[in-house]
Structure 1
């Protein structure tokens, strides 16, 4: 399923994975700078449409590349600033971006652990679990949603290896 086919009408809060859901996932590497970032087709327009229908839209993303020293938190901030700017230019919004740079899967903040969602609940106490949807492209995203007790929709992922791009169907 493509992201623009997801029905969000029964939800008021949306959690989005980033790599492979919002932007093209680079196989074997990381989005290290804005020049590496490429939106998946129709994502920006879809987020813009949803922005008028949802109370909250959050991104929850594992960013192990920071922990590995492949890029810095400042690099990530620049990427995210540009990403949000492009979404806003199209009439959309992202309320907050939560990320975990931990190298260990034991870190509760790293998906599939529920730590980033606990951060959301702390920062936005009006979020209701029963009205929250997670959209992602991986088993980790699915398990994150399961650990929280929210609905999950897996979407097709656009991946890139070298100069070759290909869709991985949900």
Structure 2
């Protein structure tokens, strides 16, 4: 069919607790680029997603902006550091979407709403049901479910899995399952 767009598969990653340390001995919250530290195995996992042909996106609630703990310029520097740290290890993020609003502000973009995922999907021609949302908390899993994605819970601080499709101790451990979703959707 003329003019038809081929939809792509994506891996949507929450940031804090999936990509980088948060609530650790070294850092409580990431409100400055100096507070940003990649978790072990993250760059390797993202490299696998890049090589498998997934688009890789970061979708993150950043209520610290709305609460006055940081300005958007600081968030931009944090994301620049994240991208540079990943690039230094051969991993690429295709795009980043964030909610700057306060928790409980009632905005349309804060996870567990699916707005950020749908916005990126529209912009990059992504097939949401063939894609995967990875998070470490219930709002991440709920956002993925509302968007129609497969969902993966990692680094969970709870026994509840929030009906995620899969659960792993970290992003690197989730790679084989996520790559299998790529193969399954290609059939």
What is the TM-score with the length of structure 1 in the denominator?
Answer: 0.80
Shift of 1:29: 4.8
Residue of structure 2 equivalent to 1:111: 111
Residue of structure 2 equivalent to 1:83: 82
Task: Please tell me the root mean square deviation across aligned C-alpha atoms, in Å.
Answer: 2.2
Cα contact 2:49–2:55 (8 A) shared by 1: no
Is residue 137 of structure 2 the alignment partner of residue 147 of structure 1? Answer: no
Bigger CA radius of gyration: 2
| Counterpart-to-counterpart distance in 1, 2:9 and 2:53 | 5
Structure 2: which 5+ residue stretches go unaligned?
Answer: 1-7, 158-168, 171-187
- Segment of structure 1 superposing worse, 59-68 or 127-136: 127-136
What does the per-residue CA deviation read over 1:103-139, in whole Å, with 9 as the maximum and x for residues that have no partner?
1432121001111122113311x20012110011011
* Higher relative contact order, chain-length normalized (CA < 8 Å, sep 6+): 1
Shift of 1:30: 2.4
Is residue 63 of structure 2 the alignment partner of residue 97 of structure 1? Answer: no
Cα contact 1:99–1:116 (8 A) shared by 2: yes
What does the per-residue CA deviation read over 1:43-95, in whole Å, with 9 as the maximum and x for residues that have no partner?
11211222111331000000000011101100000010011011112111100
Structure 1: which 5+ residue stretches go unaligned?
Answer: 1-10, 159-168
Residue of structure 1 equivalent to 2:54: 55
> Where do 4+ consecutive residues of structure 1 move more than 3 Å?
none
Residue of structure 2 equivalent to 1:66: 65
Residue of structure 2 equivalent to 1:21: 18
Cα contact 2:11–2:49 (8 A) shared by 1: no
